[in-house]
């Protein structure tokens, strides 16, 4: 008994020490950039209003594409539950440290309580997440014409393009294996089942989870087989509109950017934001996007101003929308 308690205390001490070290490193790297970023907020008043309006519209349409894509994968006509759960889950992801799991869990629970089948909801969330990551990693592929056409690209952006293309190949291979074979999904299902058996409220749901996941995979594959063009348009629209929002922010700040170089900077930052160092990449995204835009030929002060405007629209406003969505959901479903 004493040995078990000692081991428990030791493991907790190690976890706490690792957490402190990680937080210290993150704060040491991020905090100066975050303070520098906050000092530039008053300069947002200099932005051109028409381009700001276009930026907000593009971001709203980008989120609409995300919600429509999830509806398509779920094969449901429900808008309210899917939209409110998506916005609320996104807000939790952007507020809590390491909030990806918490945001996805909240979105899953909200959809389940709204009457959407839990297995279908879980598989659909995983599918759209993998597809979303793949779309981000594929962005450098679309810059290949510029790369091959002689556009001058600084080494940092060029290496980013190569990493993005390599990552896209890996994600595409993972998705192809998941859609065409059963072995990998069975392994994932067994891991989920083993975890669920240790959670009293989920122990009953662990039975038969392999067959349910494979069944839902087959349904998604057959449904998307006839609607593949809709899914492709929604995936492309989500990413393209978010990128258009960044271009609008640059024009609002007075820049005249090269879209191909900005695309490489955007794709690199989007991939960095997937690493949960800080909530929603706060500080990390501002620092990396601002620096990469400078590599793309944007003056430093203009790049910082455009980054602030873009993050205001893509990070802060959706958090507010997520809070409102949660209240509306609570009001309808009690």
pLDDT more than 90, % of the chain: 21
Crossing angle of the two packed helices 259-273 and 284-295, in degrees rounded to 10: 160
Mean of pLDDT values over 290-305: 89
Confidence check: pLDDT of 313 > 80:
yes
Instruction: Reduce the DSSP state of residue 161 to 3 states and report it.
Output: helix
Residue 102 pLDDT: 84
Average pLDDT, the chain: 78
Mean of pLDDT values over 11-15: 58
Q: Rounded to whole angstroms, how far apart are CA atoms 325 and 304?
A: 30
C-alpha Rg value of the chain to the nearest Å: 21
Confidence check: pLDDT of 17 > 70:
no
Residue 187 pLDDT: 80
Confidence check: pLDDT of 105 > 70:
yes
Asked if 113 and 333 count as a contact pair (C-beta separation under 8 A), the reply is: yes
Confidence check: pLDDT of 261 > 70:
yes
**Residue found under tokens 């932005």:** 47
Q: Rounded to whole angstroms, how far apart are CA atoms 168 and 241?
A: 20
Helices (H) and strands (E) in the chain, counts: 14, 0
**Model confidence at 125, in pLDDT bands (50, 70, 90)?**
confident
Confidence check: pLDDT of 52 > 80:
yes
Residue 115 per-residue DSSP state? T
Nearest to 132 by CA among 276, 265, 235: 235
DSSP secondary structure string, 39-108? Answer: HTGGGGGGS-HHHHHHHHHHHHHHHHHHHHHHHHHHT----HHHHHHHHHHHHHHHHSTTHHHHHHHHHH
Residue 148 per-residue DSSP state? H
DSSP secondary structure string, 182-220? Answer: SHHHHHHHHHHHHHHTTSGGGTGGGTTHHHHHHHHHHHH
Residue 225 pLDDT: 62
Residue 77 pLDDT: 87
Confidence check: pLDDT of 116 > 80:
yes
List C-alpha distances in Å: 137 to 65, 152, 170, 172: 18, 21, 10, 10
* Predicted structure pTM score: 0.76
**Model confidence at 13, in pLDDT bands (50, 70, 90)?**
low
**Model confidence at 181, in pLDDT bands (50, 70, 90)?**
confident
Residue 96 pLDDT: 79
Neighbour-count burial of 214, counting CB atoms closer than 10 A to its CB (0-12 exposed, 13-18 middle, 19+ buried): middle
- The 10s digit of each residue's pLDDT in 225-239 is 667 778 888 888 998
- Which structure tokens are listed for 56? 């907000």
Q: Which of 7-21, 76-90, 118-132 has the lowest mean pLDDT?
A: 7-21
More confident residue, 54 or 95: 54
Confidence check: pLDDT of 34 > 70:
no
Residue length, the chain? 334
Confidence check: pLDDT of 109 > 70:
yes
Mean of pLDDT values over 112-136: 83
Residue 251 pLDDT: 92
């Amino acid at each position: 008994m004493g040995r078990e308690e000692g081991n428990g205390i030791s493991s907790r001490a190690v976890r706490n020490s690792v957490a402190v070290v990680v937080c210290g490193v993150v704060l040491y790297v991020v905090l100066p950039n975050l303070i520098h970023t906050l000092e530039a907020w008053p300069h947002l008043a200099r932005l051109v209003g028409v381009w700001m309006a276009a930026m907000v519209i593009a971001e709203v349409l980008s989120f609409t594409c995300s919600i429509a894509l999830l509806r398509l994968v779920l094969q449901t006509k429900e808008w309210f539950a899917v939209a409110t759960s998506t916005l609320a889950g996104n807000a939790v992801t952007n507020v809590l440290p390491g909030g990806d799991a918490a945001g996805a869990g909240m979105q899953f629970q909200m959809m389940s309580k709204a009457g959407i089948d839990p297995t279908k909801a879980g598989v659909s969330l995983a599918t759209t997440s993998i597809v979303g990551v793949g779309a981000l990693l594929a962005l450098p592929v679309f810059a290949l014409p510029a790369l091959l056409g002689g556009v001058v690209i600084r080494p940092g952006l060029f290496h980013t393009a190569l990493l993005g293309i390599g990552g896209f190949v890996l994600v595409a291979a993972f998705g192809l294996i998941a859609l065409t074979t059963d072995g990998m999904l069975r392994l994932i299902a067994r891991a989920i089942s083993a975890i669920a058996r240790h959670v009293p409220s989920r122990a009953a749901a662990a039975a038969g989870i392999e067959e349910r996941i494979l069944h839902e995979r087959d349904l998604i594959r057959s449904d998307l087989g006839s609607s593949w063009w809709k899914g492709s348009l929604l995936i492309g629209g989500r990413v393209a509109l978010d990128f258009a929002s960044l271009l609008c922010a640059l024009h609002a700040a007075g820049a005249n950017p090269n879209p191909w170089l900005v695309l490489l900077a955007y794709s690199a930052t989007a991939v960095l934001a997937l690493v949960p160092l800080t909530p929603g990449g706060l500080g990390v995204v501002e620092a990396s996007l601002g620096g990469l835009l400078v590599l793309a030929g944007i003056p430093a002060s203009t790049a910082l101003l455009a980054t602030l405007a873009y993050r205001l629209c893509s990070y802060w406003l959706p958090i507010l929308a997520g809070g409102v969505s949660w209240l509306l959901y609570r009001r309808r479903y009690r």
